[in-house]
A and B are shown apart, each in its own frame.
Chain A
């Protein structure tokens, strides 16, 4: 199986940000995204998804290195100060690289 290098940007954030994160990702060059509901805890306390304001999401964006840089930088500047959010980036191998290139 032939795989090609690609970046996976994973965003863990409070659910209130969902629509804005999707808008940002698509505007800054991502071709798609996957979102799942999540639970967890960290420096801003626990999020147990018991009710509306307590929900959080895990959003994954597969994209090329440039889009990943631009999107990561934007998210850091826009949301890190006041929202519960964390990001991490993984190098992954994909089968159809043209789907994820800007």
Chain B
């Protein structure tokens, strides 16, 4: 198991054993800013070498996948989970959007496996942040009014999109040579910062384990089953649009991940009657640990199997 994932387990165990370990909130903020900027910068610098028109059809296909995932999740949440329309829509929106840290763990996994991936994957990451949330809100509201200006402000100007897009633009404008002086800070320290962040995520995820008793077995099954279905679609789409095996694993990782930064904030504004504890517990206490411990290695194996 990779050291970064082990840090997550250390955090989770520390929390379950009621350790007084706490990562101060300003440090958590700083670490998340660093990770988002580093991912954006790297993608942007590589994007400078690419022809944007060649990526466009793939990007559109990926956006469609982001919109499709909540449409698949919603009927399951309504019919089997028996959730209200607003709760089902909010949960579906979380699964349609993506988790940047899960993506970072996926990239780290591919580096360990010495498997290359398309350099423009951070662009797909940004594109997948928004459509799932919008579809989730539409499902939750279905027919009702939505304060779109406030919602889009929250989603498009939330820190994750601003930092990822900002990093992409700076990296793209500066190019590979321009960001070379930033390498020691943004790229060589990346793994260490990811480990610290995962230690924090372990603490946070385990703080929601107690909620699993209240949310019931269905949510546990959904939190494991939904990423498997969505990642399966990601593997198929990656293969169809001609991504490399590494790119396909990352697309599966993105499709299988659930947002716990952008989506919760957006849903509190657009669907306030949805209970945030349900979607956050599913995304953070079930799907996130599942993806980083079991999911990503599984998506890697499945991609290898399909490609061989």
Contacts and interface: CB of A to CB of B under 8 A. Distances in A.
Contacts of A52: 261, 264-265
B277 interface: yes
Interface string B212-253: 000000000000000000000000000000000000000000
A55 interface: yes
A87 B33 CA distance: 33
Contacts of B272: 81-83
Contacts of B261: 52-53
B148 interface: no
Q: Name the interface size band of chain B.
A: 20 to 34
Interface string B37-54: 000000000000000000
Interface residues of A, number: 15
A82 B265 contact: no
A53 B207 contact: no
Contacts of B204: 50-51, 54
Contacts of B203: 50
Contacts, number: 40
A53 B204 CA distance: 11
Interface string A42-54: 0001001111111
A82 B280 contact: no
Nearest to B261: A52
A20 to B, nearest CB: 8
Contacts of B95: none
A74 to B, nearest CB: 16
A76 to B, nearest CB: 15
A51 B202 CA distance: 12
Contacts of A82: 272-273
B260 A53 contact: yes
Interface string B16-36: 000000110100100000000
A14 interface: yes
B32 to A, nearest CB: 8
A14 B28 CA distance: 18
Given A45-B277, A81-B273, A82-B273, A50 B28 contact: yes
Contacts of B189: none
Nearest to B277: A45
A37 interface: yes
Contacts of A49: 25
Contacts of B260: 51, 53
A45 B200 CA distance: 20
Contact of A53 (B22, B23, B269, B276): B276
**4 A-B pairs closest in CB distance:** A82-B272, A53-B264, A16-B268, A50-B204
Interface of A: 14, 16, 37, 45, 48-55, 81-83
29 contacts: A16-B265, A37-B25, A45-B277, A49-B25, A50-B22, A50-B23, A50-B25, A50-B200, A50-B203, A50-B204, A50-B207, A51-B28, A51-B200, A51-B204, A51-B260, A52-B261, A52-B265, A53-B261, A53-B264, A53-B268, A53-B276, A53-B280, A54-B207, A55-B25, A81-B273, A82-B272, A82-B273, A83-B268, A83-B272
